Structure 1
Amino acid sequence: MLKKKKFKLVTNVLAAAIKLWLRTQVSHIGQLKLDIQAGDRQLLSGCIPSVSIVAQDAIYQGLHLSFVDLLAKNISINVGSVLKGQQLQLLEKVPVIGELSQLQEDLSASLSSTLLSTALTDILFKFLPDYSTNSKSTSWDRVEIQENQLVISATMNQENNSQPLDICIGLNLLSPHELLVAPILVTSNTKTLLASSDGEYLNLGSDVEIQDLQLLPGKIIFRGMIYVNP
Structure 2
Amino acid sequence: MSKIIKTILTPALKLWLNSQVEKLEALNLFIEGNDYQILNGYLPEVTLSSYRLIYKGLSLEEIKLKVNDVRINIGQILRGQSLKLLEDIRISGKVAISNESLKVSISSNILQDGIKYLLNTLLKNQEFTEFFQKINIMDSQLEEIYIDYSHITIQIAFLYKDAVQSITIKMKPNIVSPQILSLKEVEIKSLSEEIVCLNEEILIDLGQDININQISLDNGKLFCQCELKIYS
1:224 and 1:26, CA in 2 relative to 1: closer, same or farther beyond 3 A?
same
Deviations 1:176-209 (A, max 9, x none): 1110123321214661264323343211222322
**TM-score under structure 2 length normalisation:** 0.86
The runs of 5 or more residues in structure 2 that have no matched partner are: none
Give the drift of 1:225.
Answer: 2.3
Indicate the residue corresponding to 2:226 in structure 1: 224
Of 79, 83, 88 in structure 2, the residue corresponding to residue 88 of structure 1 is 83
Indicate the residue corresponding to 1:186 in structure 2: 188
Q: Within 1, Cα distance between the matches of 2:108 and 2:5?
A: 39
Is 1:15 aligned to 2:17, yes or no? no
Give the drift of 1:15.
Answer: 2.0
1:194 and 1:42, CA in 2 relative to 1: closer, same or farther beyond 3 A?
same
Of 172, 188, 201 in structure 2, the residue corresponding to residue 170 of structure 1 is 172
Deviations 1:162-189 (A, max 9, x none): 1132221121111111101233212146
Give the drift of 1:145.
Answer: 0.8
Identity across the alignment (%): 26
Indicate the residue corresponding to 1:4 in structure 2: none
CA contact (8 A) 2:5 2:31 kept: no
CA contact (8 A) 2:135 2:160 kept: no
Q: What does residue range 90-109 of structure 1 map to in structure 2 within 5 Å?
A: 90-109=85-104
Indicate the residue corresponding to 1:30 in structure 2: 25
Q: What does residue range 1-230 of structure 1 map to in structure 2 within 5 Å?
A: 8=3, 12-125=7-120, 126=123, 127=128, 128-133=131-136, 137-188=139-190, 191-192=193-194, 194-230=196-232
Comparing 56-65 and 135-144, the one that deviates more: 135-144
Comparing 65-74 and 38-47, the one that deviates more: 38-47
SS in structure 2 of the partner of residue 191 of structure 1: coil
Give the drift of 1:103.
Answer: 1.1
Structural RMSD (CA):
2.2
Deviations 1:59-89 (A, max 9, x none): 0011110121011111000112222333211
1:149 partner letter: H
SS in structure 1 of the partner of residue 140 of structure 2: strand
CA contact (8 A) 2:27 2:48 kept: yes
Comparing 48-57 and 138-147, the one that deviates more: 138-147
Q: Within 2, Cα distance between the matches of 1:140 and 1:202?
A: 18
1:9 and 1:76, CA in 2 relative to 1: closer, same or farther beyond 3 A?
closer
CA contact (8 A) 1:163 1:188 kept: no
- The number of aligned residues is 223
